[in-house]
Structure 1
Amino acid sequence: MSWAEVGSRWKAKLSQMDWYLCFGLIFLFLVLIGLSMAAWKLNLILHDADALPIEAVAIKGERTHTSDAEIQAALQDLMQRSFFSADVNQVQEALEALPWVYQASVRREWPAKLRVYLVEQHVVAHWNGDAWLNQLGEVFDAPQKEDIGPLPRLAGPEGQSKLVLTTYRQVSELLKINGFDLEGLSLSPRHAWHGVLASGITLELGREDKMARIQRFINVYPTLIKQDKDVAKVDLRYDTGLAVGWVNAQKRASK
């Protein structure tokens, strides 16, 4: 076999291989275009609120202060999205921004529902007049509600809410087992404690030995009520003893 024949055979093979390669590349290119188009159309469908709308939102959890109207208003814009494009984290944030909602959890439920579980704030006290405290001593702002029963009025510097609530619980428990109701407790910027009983008696407790001073008041109260006067104020900021302000004396002083 001559070199010319060998060369022609190799040229024929290379020419055949080039055609196979071209057809293969063209086919691969067409497949990639088809997959891209399919992915693009699928993405359009998944984000089309008309094609895959959110048809319902199921709300679970005990609610006392959060209405359906408030929830609908909070989710109005987010509900315009499709089932798949709706961001459950944004839904959660929108719900937790409602004043009486403490925590919210959100999940998708096929085929077109969002399931929401709400936990409301468990309010235990007023704080600094117009705010509230929950059971953890956390401060939150929310509108006044008429259906909330009487709550203790607590006050103190910023960042001291947990301390004030804990102290209130301790002092209130000691007073309650001795027949007194603690209506309010406040901590001054100088860290002095001031209590108010449901009977209207105010207690000046100072900075230290709060529980010992409360016990001193409890011990001496039977003697105070034997007087022909009504107690207005008891100052317990002494190492021993106390000072008493009487209702009639305070009225004369105010005049």
Structure 2
Amino acid sequence: MSWAEVGQRWKLRLVQVDWYLCLGLLFLLLVVISLSMGAWKLNLIVNDADALPIEAVAIRGERARTSDEEIQVALQDLMKRSFFSADVNQVQDALEALPWVYQASVRREWPAKLKVYLVEQQVVAHWNGDAWLNIHGQIFDAPKRSDIGALPLLAGPEGQSKVVLTTYRQVSELLKINGFKLDSLSLSPRHAWHGSLDNGIMLELGREDKMARIQRFINVYPTLVKQSKPVAKVDLRYDTGLAVGWENAQKESQ
């Protein structure tokens, strides 16, 4: 066999090898294109609110102050998305932005439903006049409602709501077991405590030993009510004693 014949055979083999390589690359390219087209079409379907709409939202949990209409308004834009493209975190945020909603949990339920569980705010007091305080001592803003009964009036500096609520519970419990009801409690910017009872008596408790001072008031009250003048104010900011302001005396001074 001559060198020319050998060279010709190698050329044929190289041509054959290149042909198989081209066919393989072409097949791989077709596969990639097909997968990309499939993924693109799937993405269109998944995000198409007409193809996969959210057909229902199931609301669970006890609701006394959050209406269906408020929920519908809060979710009206989010409901325009498809079942898969709807962001449950955004749905949760939209619901928790409602004034009387404390917490919301959201999950998808195949094929076209969102399940929502709501927990409403449990209000325990008014805070600084126009806000509310929940059972955790957290401040929240919500419209006034006529269906909420009498609540204590609490007040204090920014960041002190939990401290004021805790102190109110302690002082109120001590007064309650002795026949008194605490209507309001406030903490001044200088950290002095002021309270008032449902019978109109004002209590000045100062900064320290507030529980001991409340007990001192309880102990001396039977003596105070024996006086001919009704008590208007009791100043307990003393180490061992107290000062009493009489109602008639205050009216005369005014």
TM-score, L = length of structure 2? 0.97
Equivalence for 2:140: 140
- SS class of match (1:129): coil
Equivalence for 1:128: 128
Instruction: Confirm or deny that 1:232 pairs with 2:197.
Output: no
Whole-Å Cα distance in 1 between the matches of residues 85 and 66 of structure 2? 26
Instruction: Confirm or deny that 1:164 pairs with 2:167.
Output: no
Whole-Å Cα distance in 2 between the matches of residues 35 and 240 of structure 1? 87
Give the counterpart letter for 1:95 in structure 2.
L
Matches within 5 A, 1:170-249: 170-249=170-249
Could you report, residue by residue, the CA deviation over 1:39-60 in whole angstroms, capped at 9, with x for unpaired residues? 1111101000000000011111
Equivalence for 2:104: 104
Whole-Å Cα distance in 1 between the matches of residues 220 and 67 of structure 2? 50
- SS class of match (1:220): helix
Whole-Å Cα distance in 2 between the matches of residues 43 and 124 of structure 1? 48
- SS class of match (2:85): coil
Equivalence for 1:41: 41
- SS class of match (2:238): coil
Percent identity over the alignment is 82
Whole-Å Cα distance in 2 between the matches of residues 62 and 86 of structure 1? 25
Give the counterpart letter for 1:142 in structure 2.
A
- SS class of match (1:98): coil
Equivalence for 1:3: 3
Task: Note the C-alpha offset of 1:2.
Answer: 2.1
Whole-Å Cα distance in 2 between the matches of residues 151 and 35 of structure 1? 64
Whole-Å Cα distance in 2 between the matches of residues 192 and 18 of structure 1? 92
Whole-Å Cα distance in 2 between the matches of residues 174 and 204 of structure 1? 16
Whole-Å Cα distance in 2 between the matches of residues 121 and 111 of structure 1? 31
Could you report, residue by residue, the CA deviation over 1:17-50 in whole angstroms, capped at 9, with x for unpaired residues? 1111111111211121111111111110100000
Matches within 5 A, 1:27-66: 27-66=27-66
Give the counterpart letter for 2:101 in structure 1.
V
Whole-Å Cα distance in 1 between the matches of residues 241 and 46 of structure 2? 77
**Bigger Cα displacement from structure 2, 19-28 vs 47-56:** 19-28
Task: Note the C-alpha offset of 1:125.
Answer: 0.7
Whole-Å Cα distance in 2 between the matches of residues 152 and 212 of structure 1? 22
Matched residue count? 254
Runs of 4+ in 1 over 3 A off after TM superposition: none
Instruction: Confirm or deny that 1:150 pairs with 2:177.
Output: no
Give the counterpart letter for 2:172 in structure 1.
S
- SS class of match (2:69): helix
Give the counterpart letter for 1:92 in structure 2.
Q
RMSD between aligned alpha carbons?
Answer: 1.0
Give the counterpart letter for 2:51 in structure 1.
A
Task: Note the C-alpha offset of 1:220.
Answer: 0.6
Whole-Å Cα distance in 2 between the matches of residues 220 and 24 of structure 1? 101
Whole-Å Cα distance in 1 between the matches of residues 2 and 145 of structure 2? 106
Task: Note the C-alpha offset of 1:244.
Answer: 1.1
Equivalence for 2:114: 114
Runs (5+) with no aligned partner, structure 1: none
Whole-Å Cα distance in 1 between the matches of residues 59 and 150 of structure 2? 29
Whole-Å Cα distance in 2 between the matches of residues 228 and 31 of structure 1? 101
